[in-house]
Amino acid sequence: MILPKDSEAYRKMQKESRDLLPLTPFFNRYKESFQAHFIEEVKKEAGVTRIKERFLHLLSSKFYDGLTDFKAPATKSVVEEFLQIRNRGVPPLLLLQKLLSSMILRVVNDYSDDRDLFRYIQILSGYFDSVLEYLKTVLQADTDREFATRVALKPNEMQKWLPAGSGVRLLNVYKGIPVVYEAIVGRSSNEKVVLQMPSERGVLAQMEGRVVHFDRRMEPFAIEMKIGRIAFRGDVAIAEVEDAAWIDSIAHRRKRVRVSLDTPLKARITALGRQFNVDLIDISGNGVCLQTDVGYGLPLYEQVEVTLPIPQEDGSVRNIVMRGSLQYISTHGDSRRRYHIFLHASPRKEEILSAFVTRRELDLLRELKSLAKRRT
């Protein structure tokens, strides 16, 4: 088990693992696929050309054996070897999230007719969450403090990652649109870090009250800084920043532009015909994220159908039918279940969604420039 022996999660999993005995044949035959997926994902990352495939094969084998051995606790060597790949530019926690999610989906596919499927998923999801939390803690504790999250940067770290005169990449999010831009690092008279950026980006940074600096060398972490004072001089904004701290960059950086659409929607379970209200969280060029918060049970992984009214450039509305599934459940303080639904687009519908997202993004960027003009 990739958990420490003295943890509550380890003791809990020892008891619950008995319910997973029917999955033993699955764990035995899935190992080869897991290793292939592991190596494939590592090779996608920069800086891995010096990692021998034999090492990756042994590491993936060792990790898989530890993961599916529900009697023995975690070994130190697994953590040490994950440190090695992290130091070569591979974000191990993101890698494992992909692998474990893939395993869950394979279990769902292979055991869809098993009446205990939901119980399997419940146990494995809890276990995998505990594994990721444990590895996150250990990987941070066993590395230099500069890689720990929610820890303030020391003066020497500020000089290393934010040297005066250097260019940095910053991120803010405006109404769902991730805005990435360049800034120049400087120092104020009292030796505080200042960032020189375009004025419309300065307006955005001031509105959000923070900036995120990300760099491939820092992955899977980034630096978050709070905006102190900010001054505008024509087309340039000078922002004084403070409280620089490490954060998990994966959680604060969005790979795709996502926009909102404020309209009431209904989803229909295709097999049962049941309808229920859903909230549209966001739309990207390749799909849609929905949520629903209902007081009754819905069948997990059931196929759903939703009709989306997408505004067109000429002011009309185009209704497109999209299908997806109830992917996972989160619970809240009131014990109500919140279902997360993802709709995947066909190539033609991707074109329609991408066109809408692009128009919306341009509108928001124009809005941002207008705000900057009024401010300066």
Confidence of residue 332 (pLDDT cuts 50, 70, 90): low
* Euclidean distance between CA atoms 109 and 116, whole angstroms: 13
Could you tell me if 78 and 69 are in contact, meaning their C-beta atoms sit under 8 angstroms apart? no
Confidence of residue 83 (pLDDT cuts 50, 70, 90): low
The tens digit of pLDDT for each residue in 293-311 reads 765 566 667 788 899 888 8
Specify whether domain 155-252 bears CATH 1.10.10.10: no
Res 90: pLDDT = 66
pLDDT of 240 over the 90 cut: yes
Q: Please tell me which residue, 370 or 299, carries the higher pLDDT value.
A: 370
Tell me the pTM: 0.47
- In terms of Cα–Cα distance, which of 23, 59, 66, 62 is closest to 41? 59
Confidence of residue 145 (pLDDT cuts 50, 70, 90): very low
The tens digit of pLDDT for each residue in 157-202 reads 888 888 889 999 888 888 777 788 899 999 988 888 999 999 889 8
Could you tell me if 205 and 240 are in contact, meaning their C-beta atoms sit under 8 angstroms apart? no
Q: For the chain, what are the domain ranges?
A: 8-143, 155-252, 265-364
Could you tell me if 176 and 262 are in contact, meaning their C-beta atoms sit under 8 angstroms apart? no
Instruction: Tell me the CATH number for domain 265-364.
Output: 2.40.10.220
> Is 85 in a helix, a strand, or coil?
helix
* Euclidean distance between CA atoms 372 and 205, whole angstroms: 11
Res 313: pLDDT = 84
- Mean pLDDT score of the chain: 78
* Euclidean distance between CA atoms 10 and 4, whole angstroms: 7
High-pLDDT (> 90) share of the chain, %: 6
Q: Please tell me which residue, 209 or 43, carries the higher pLDDT value.
A: 209
Q: Please tell me which residue, 232 or 102, carries the higher pLDDT value.
A: 232
Q: Please tell me which residue, 153 or 183, carries the higher pLDDT value.
A: 183
